[in-house]
Structure 1
Amino acid sequence: MLIVISEFMDEPAVQALRERFEVRYDPGLAESRAALLAAAGEADALIVRNRSRVDAALLAAAPRLKAVGRLGVGLDNIDLDGCAARGIRVMPATGANARAVAEYVIGATLALLRGVYGATGAVAGGHWPRASLSAGLEAHGRTLGVVGFGGIGQLVATLARGLGMRVLGCDAALAPGHPAWAETGARPAALDALLAEADVVSLHVPLTPDTRNLLDERRLALMRPGAVLINTARGGIVDEAALAAALRAGRLRGAALDVFGQEPLAAGGALAAVLADTPSAASLILTPHIAGLTAEANTRVSEMVANGVTMALTGKAA
């Protein structure tokens, strides 16, 4: 049986699969649609991250496909209905990168509230902007709003509570009496109320028709003046042009974006204009969809997916 791996995977997990299956490990397949479709034609299983589209065309090109392993948790690049109709098992690495994402959120929270870490160039150049950087904020006592209170959102809440932050959570799937609220010390709130109260808002919802542009111009305007927005969920959930306008106008203190409507992010867009505005540059953190990627998380994710695919193909654990 052949397993095709189209994006990077931890090498020990790849080796473990090679001991039991024929494996084509080629991260370059994510860059070539034609090559991916051709490779899928012989595949019994496919392992992807977020850049390989497992859509109707790929499923049609893969008559032998029995399993799709997702090196991550987002499934918007996978045709779940099409897989279900064919009996193809889809296995995300649920929970395996939660710690990495949660620590990214906390790190971004501290960096944006304090607002001092962009001073390296000035200090190295002989400047001493001590007065202008002395009004940073502490996380303790401030309110974090977590939009989407699944496993990652709950871990973010737990870490934030350790810093002495108050936590609000918004998740229509969790009843007010759900144990997760008491376990994390968070208080449930409606989205608009959360936005109006939180000093920091962190997004942890999937991209669906209901969540596309969830934070549009209207909802961004509901956020507290001087609040911070962090998106490690999916591009498309935040209206990037509206966010850029809010940052340039000084209505928000800052934002950290790890995901974008178009990836890679196109040069010269609205967010680039924020960075060109020197006073705002330190208030915007842009990273290339890596919040869930650490050495430890990659090992956990790869091992989980390798085990899941092995079980799907053989009925036995790796």
Structure 2
Amino acid sequence: MVRWLSHLRAERRLSPKTCEAYARDARQCLMFLSQHWGELVTLKRFAALEASDVRAFMAARRADDIGGRSLMRALAGLRSFARFLEREGLGKVGALSAIRAPKVGKSLPKPIQMSAAKRFADASERAGEDREPWIWARDAAVMALLYGSGLRISEALGLKRRDVPQPGAGDVLVVTGKGNKTRMVPVLQNVLALVHEYVAVCPHSLPPEGPIFVGARGGPLSPRIIQLTMARMRGALGLPDSATPHALRHSFATHLLSRGGDLRAIQELLGHASLSTTQIYTGIDSERLLEVYKTAHPRA
């Protein structure tokens, strides 16, 4: 399994979190099969896996209240493991290809209203909290990047100081997304101004090669800190639990689309590998699309 995980990281360039999830799913499957068969799982025995064994594993996971998406990921990981074994000449596991992926219900992203999304990036909204002002400025800058440029929280916190242009000296960020893929993302000057306001008051050293966003003690900033900040603020703003850091990214895409943004351009900005991933936002803005249809179609 160690060689398989190395292959996923080095050749497939999967993210550390995906590799971790695949490894966890594979271990859970092997542990289940060991109990299911009443013997240790060897490569030879695993190659003799039958479809009924896989279905039994999936049913056991479903009984543990595991959702459809997690089951689909587990099946994808097991298939990847099986392909690796076959490529290495260690056996062919045909049963996995006979299993249908579980159905996953489509759920639309829950964007935040434009006015509320802007308030998350306003440091003055937190002026009553017993925290140092530079921390208010830091959190406002991070949330401004999530909403203003549509970054994932890992992408924002992964920015190095040298990656962020000085105000007036540039309007593009180069971010590293999933699979270590880089992309260019435009950044608004008022968002850059918030970032540099934070830099100016940050009490810790921020070298060019180091992360631009740091924690209270100067180490890398944990995503959990931003999640907790948003949890406190959404309570004050009267927003639902769905108002998370990732919801700011959803809001970026939804609000662009509602203002006439091109779907293909939004796909590139978000760093989606497939246009179908970006198309979920059309479901949110269906009323606008229907209005365009009625206006433009000759038989409408």
- TM-score class, shorter-chain normalisation, is under 0.3
Larger-gyration structure (1/2): 2
**Structure (1/2) with the larger strand percentage:** 1
Compute the TM-score of the two structures, normalised by the length of structure 2: 0.27
Task: Name the structure with the higher helix share.
Answer: 2
Structure 1 length-normalised TM: 0.26
